[in-house]
Amino acid sequence: MSTETPTLETPDHNAGQWVPLARIQDFAGKDRIIIRHEGKQIVVFQTDNGLHAIDNRCPHEGYPLREGTLGKADGRCVITCNWHNWKFDLTTGDNLYGGDKVRAYPVRVEGDEVLLDLTDPPPAVKQRQALDNLTDAMDDNDSERLFREVARLERAGADPMDAIRHGIRMTFDKLEFGFGHAYAAAADWLAIRDRFPDSPDIRLACLVEPLAHMADDTVREETYAYPDVATEWDADAFVAAVDAEDEAAATGHLRAGLRDGVSLDALRHVFARTGLLHYAAFGHAVIYVTKAFELIERLGAPVTEPLLLALMRHHLRARREDLIPEFRDYAGALTEMRTAAGGPLPTPEDYRSLNVKKALSLTARCGLGDPEGLFRVLLEANAWNTAAFDVSWMAKKDVKPDNSVNWLDNTHGITFSEAVLALCRRYPDLWAEGLLQMACFVGRNAAYTRPGVPGDMPAEMTEEWYPALLESMIDHGQDAFIVAAHVIKTPTAAEALRRQGFGSPILAHGVNRFLAGPLDLRQVRRTAKQALAFVALDS
């Protein structure tokens, strides 16, 4: 695995591969000539600053730079590609306006012969240059360029995972609220990429989508540095610091744990605890734990600290919904569940139309005698709420912000459940929190369902269900990265549940309905009405 930034060597052009490719007299009456050599097309310009050679192919969309306009800027010779007005320094190939750089070749004249140095840079230099170009593309939030630069990085022989490592290391401290959908979706995109070993376009798309999302999330953001402190590892103290929103203390414990080699499993356990400490952030706090550790296991040490710092910040800053009235019964239900004698499990139908308070009460009374049995019931109840979601709520104009729901909110009942299963099977001490928070989702989503489930329910959730969706998931056509992330993560979570024996027709049907949309989230008139009503009450 190549994780280190390659050392940038200075090419020794005196020792290069100088090839005579033209004669001075070829320029008679011309300020540019085209040279064709071993599949390359190089344009050589004659300027009052001497000869300059660059690739003829514009690195943007491939139009010929020989058709460009020569000029000067700050004493430099510049070629402008007239298709989209990109400008290149003829000496270095640097892009002065636009995006990608063009390759420039050293030129010298001996007698009347024009020689070009065609020496290819060593792979390590090419890889370093490709990573530098990737940085530029990320900084510019230029997703089209990202496709080209990641393709160039792979072509330079780099480990393609270096692109993702680089993206994470570039962005983790530009996230004011920590870990977000871009990282979470990256774990799913990379897993999907594994399924297509023979499809270069899909494999590239699966790398670039999460990078473009990271760039979009952090464009024009300042750096929100994490405290540079390492104290001592203490899991309970870390949890307390996160709960107290004390980033300095939490960072000190975390950095010390990483310094002291605390195992990934111990770290995942403590993050599962902080993620489930509250019913928080619409379940993201828990979903992100599973995705962070999937990424760490795949990408290794270079991303461990960045991802865990970002995850810690997300847990610190997450809104704690169990502290607002709708979910305030959560704390009492947690106490009750841990001591309840238990009894027969309810059915998914028993949860129909229950509000959060009643869903919590029903769940707590079950106790912890059969957590996986109760998990199955709650998963089915959540899946029913997705399958029966009343999409008319998405278009309502006269609703309060709390009732401005959409498909993305609804799907968290499923993605959160999958994360609960993954974490609580590893750490059974957390079942009570996981199950009760699933009940919170059941109660909150039930309010936005219709009486029956529309559409044709599949007879079963087969192992062909997910593979049949993949190509349309990848080619999602969504402008908003957050929507694309949900299109990726929701079926992926459902498939993970199926593989573990929790698939069902209602689960497949709910996800199918979500994918069919509508997925347009912006409701400008509703937002305008809410703003007007709110501002009218300002003092």
Instruction: Give the footprint of ligand FES on this chain (CB under 6 A).
Output: 58, 60-61, 63, 81, 83-84, 86, 98
Give the helix, strand, coil percentages of the chain, each rounded to 5.
55, 10, 30
Q: Closest CB to ligand FES among 87 and 357?
A: 87
Which three-class secondary structure state does DSSP give residue 280? strand
Concatenated DSSP letters of 127-143: HHHHHHHHHHHHHTT-H
Q: Nearest approach, Cβ of 100 to ligand FES (angstroms)?
A: 9
Q: Nearest approach, Cβ of 58 to ligand FES (angstroms)?
A: 3
Supply the DSSP symbol for 500. I
Nearest to 386 by CA among 444, 303, 470, 301: 444
Q: Closest CB to ligand FES among 87 and 486?
A: 87
Q: Closest CB to ligand FES among 34 and 368?
A: 34
Amino acid at 419: A
Q: How far apart are CA 284 and CA 365, in angstroms?
A: 26
Q: Nearest approach, Cβ of 81 to ligand FES (angstroms)?
A: 3
Q: Closest CB to ligand FES among 98 and 283?
A: 98
Q: Nearest approach, Cβ of 102 to ligand FES (angstroms)?
A: 9
Supply the DSSP symbol for 459. S
Q: Closest CB to ligand FES among 59 and 283?
A: 59
Q: Nearest approach, Cβ of 54 to ligand FES (angstroms)?
A: 12
CB 273 within 8 A of CB 430: yes
C-alpha pair distances (Å), 242 with each of 50, 81, 470: 63, 53, 37
Q: Nearest approach, Cβ of 215 to ligand FES (angstroms)?
A: 20
Q: Closest CB to ligand FES among 59 and 302?
A: 59
Ramachandran angles phi, psi of 516, nearest 5°: -75, -15
Amino acid at 270: V
C-alpha pair distances (Å), 163 with each of 154, 166, 254, 255: 9, 5, 26, 25
3-state SS of 334-399 is HHHHHHCCCCCCCCHHHHCCCCHHHHHHHHHHCCCCCHHHHHHHHHHHHHHHHHCECCHHHHCCCC
Crossing angle for the helix pair 301-317 and 247-259, nearest 10 degrees? 160
Q: Closest CB to ligand FES among 88 and 407?
A: 88
Q: Closest CB to ligand FES among 63 and 196?
A: 63
Q: Closest CB to ligand FES among 60 and 278?
A: 60
Q: Nearest approach, Cβ of 211 to ligand FES (angstroms)?
A: 22
Q: Nearest approach, Cβ of 98 to ligand FES (angstroms)?
A: 6
Q: Closest CB to ligand FES among 88 and 271?
A: 88
User: Which spans in 195-300 are helix H?
Assistant: 200-218, 235-243, 247-259, 264-275, 284-299
Alpha carbons within 13 A on the beta-carbon side of 318? 30
Q: How far apart are CA 138 and CA 170, in angstroms?
A: 9
Q: Nearest approach, Cβ of 43 to ligand FES (angstroms)?
A: 13
Q: Closest CB to ligand FES among 65 and 493?
A: 65
Q: Nearest approach, Cβ of 167 to ligand FES (angstroms)?
A: 25
Concatenated DSSP letters of 397-411: SS--GGG---HHHHH
Q: Closest CB to ligand FES among 83 and 224?
A: 83
Q: Nearest approach, Cβ of 96 to ligand FES (angstroms)?
A: 12
CB 419 within 8 A of CB 427: no
Q: Closest CB to ligand FES among 61 and 350?
A: 61
Q: How far apart are CA 290 and CA 294, in angstroms?
A: 6
Alpha carbons within 13 A on the beta-carbon side of 132? 13
Query: How many C-beta atoms lie closer than 10 Å to residue 142's C-beta?
Result: 19
Q: Nearest approach, Cβ of 68 to ligand FES (angstroms)?
A: 8
Q: Nearest approach, Cβ of 30 to ligand FES (angstroms)?
A: 21
Query: How many C-beta atoms lie closer than 10 Å to residue 375's C-beta?
Result: 21
